[in-house]
Structure 1
Amino acid sequence: MPSWKVTLPCTRAEAEAIDAAEDLGLDSAPVLMTTEDVEDDAERWHLDAYFEVEPNDAAVAAVQALVPSARGRAPAIEQLDDEDWVTMSQAGLEPLHVGRFYVHTAAQDAPPPEGARVFRIEAGRAFGTGHHETTSGCLAMLDGLADARFTDVIDIGTGTGLLAFAARELWPEARVLATDIDPVAVDVTRENAEVNAVPGIDLVVADGALADAITDRAPYDLLIANILAGPLVSMAPEVAAIAAPHATVVLAGLLGRQASEVIGAYTACGCTLEARDDRGDWTILRLRAGAERYVPTAPIDPAGRDGWALDI
C-alpha cells in the first residue's frame, strides 16, 4: 500500500525533543524521523512524519505542534509509492569501516578492506545499521576491548543484531544473548545472523532485563545497551543486578547533555565510569560494575519504570 509523508522544517532542539515525543493520540500514528539539513547548524533540520494512510487535518496539526519554529509554514504533504520508505530513506548509506568491522548493504559491492569482518545489514525494519553515531560508537568501543576476555555477553535492545554479531566475532567462545522489546527486531536479528553466517546468538523478546530467560543466565561480564537515555536510567537497577562483579557495561543512545544523569543512575548501582566517547551530539559510555554483585534495595517493578525515567 502507498504511504504518505508530511515534512516541516525544525530546529535541532525540536528534533531532540521529538525523539522523546509521547504518543500523538492519533488513530494512525506516524513514524517520525528528523534529519540535519546543514551540518552543525542548529536551526537547519527537518521533520518527516510517515503515515500508512492519508493524514487528515488533525494528524497534520499534531505534527505541526511538534515544531513551533515552523508555525505559519505550510507542510509539504506527498503520497509515496508502494515501497518500503525506511529502506528508501537509508538507500544512500555508504559502507562503514569501524576498527576491524566493515558494514554494508547488498547494493554496495565495493571490495571490503583486507582482513575486515564484513557484515551485510540491510536498512529496513530495525534500528542499527551501524551508521548512527550510537551504533558506530559502540562498535568502536567493543573493538577497543578486543584484548579483554568475556564469557557471557548480553546485548539489550539489539535492533539489527549488529553489536551482538561484533561481540560474537571478538569473543567466539562466549555465550551471547541478544534481546529486544520488539519481536520484529528479534526476527530481523535472526535473519541477519543467517545472512552473515553468525553462529550461536541466542535471542529473546523481552522488556528490559527482568525476563526469566535473561536472569537465569546471569551474571554477564559484558553488557551492551544501545537504547535511549530514559530507559537506560530507569533500567539501571535491573541491568546492574545481572552484571557480574567487575563486569564491563557499554551504554549508548544518550545525548551528551544526558550523560551525567545516566552515569549517576549507574553509579548509584555500584558502577564507575571508565571511558566516554562523544560523537557529535551523542555519547557512548563504558562503565565497570562494582567488586560485589549489585543487589537492588527494593523489588524491581517494570510498571514503575516511568517513575525513574529521565526527563528528556
Structure 2
Amino acid sequence: MDSNALDTVDRVLHGGTQDPHVIDFSANTNPETPSGITPVYDAALAAARRYPADDYGEFRTAAADYVGCEPAETIPTAGAMAGLRLALSVLLTPGDSIVVPEPSFGEYVREVRLQGATPVGVAHDELLDVEPEAHDLVIICTPNNPTGEAVGTHELYSFVARCRDADTTLVLDEAFLDFTPFPSMAGEPNVVVLRSLTKMFGLPGLRAGFLVATGDLRRRLDAARLTWGVSTPAVAVGAYCLKQDAFVERTVERVSTERERMAERLSTRWEVYPSDAPFLLFDVGSDDLEDVLKTARASGFVLRDARTFARLDNHVRVAIRRPAENERLLDVLGV
C-alpha cells in the first residue's frame, strides 16, 4: 500500500441501512438464506476456540465445485472486498495504469489509489474496446453494478485472450454472476476472479468469499493471503451454502421473474436499464429524485441514491426482493 495515498483517499458510500423498521431495497443482497445454517454456525462457533486450519480444504473444494475450477486454484478471503485488496496489493505498483468501469462499484477506484496506481475510468459498455497493452490491469464487473448488464461469454473470452496476449492481468468481479446463466471465467490463465457469498446467500455480515487464479499468479496470491484470514464459522457456513444447489435455482428463478415484472412496471414511468442482476437501475427523468427517495422512505422503503456512482446524476437503484415486498414498493412509487 502507498502510504502517501492514505491522506487523499476517502471512504466509499454504499447502500444498506441499520434501521430494522424499514425494508432495504438499497443493498443487493438476497433477503432469504438457505435453511440449515444455524446448526452449522453453532458447531463452527464451538470449534472457533482453535485456530482455523489454514489450508481451508473443505471450503476450497466447495468453492471450486461451485465455479468449476480446481480446489488449489481458489484462495479463501473474508468477502470479495478482502479479495480485491489482496489481488491489487499483489498486482499493482505505484504509477500503474488501471482500467476501471464507470459507473461501477466505487471500491475499485479507492483500492487502486491506495496502492498508488492510477485509475482510468472507461464507460462500462465500452470496456471491451480498451487496448489492454496500454494498461497494466483491467477490472470488469459482470454483471455490472449498478447498471446490471452482464458481458456475453463469447465477447468476454475474446477480451480475455487479448489481455493474455498483451500480458495485462484481468480482474473479473463475478459477485452477481450467480444470478445469470453465464459461466464463470474461473481457471482462465492471467485472470483473477472475485467471488462473494454475500449476494446469493444473503449473509453480508459473515464475510466469506474467494479468489480464483492459476499458475504463478495463484501462487503469489496464496503466498500473500493473510494467515487465518477467514474465520471458522465463515468457512463452515460458506462451504455449506455453496452446496445448496436447490436454493440457488429457486433464487435465480424468483429474481428473474420478479426483475421482469418490476422492470415492466417501472418502465411505465421511468427509463429502466436492462439487467441480468438482482437489481434495477432507472433514470427518474423529469421527476425530482429527492422526492422519489423521500416518498419511498416515508412508506418504509430505502432505495439506493445512485448519484454516488460516476456518470450518474438522476438515477435510483432498487434491489429485487420477495414478490410481496416488491409489489408494495411498486404501489408506493405509483407504477
> Normalising by the residue count of structure 2, what TM-score does the alignment of the two structures yield?
0.30
> Normalising by the residue count of structure 1, what TM-score does the alignment of the two structures yield?
0.31
More helix by share: 2
More strand by share: 1
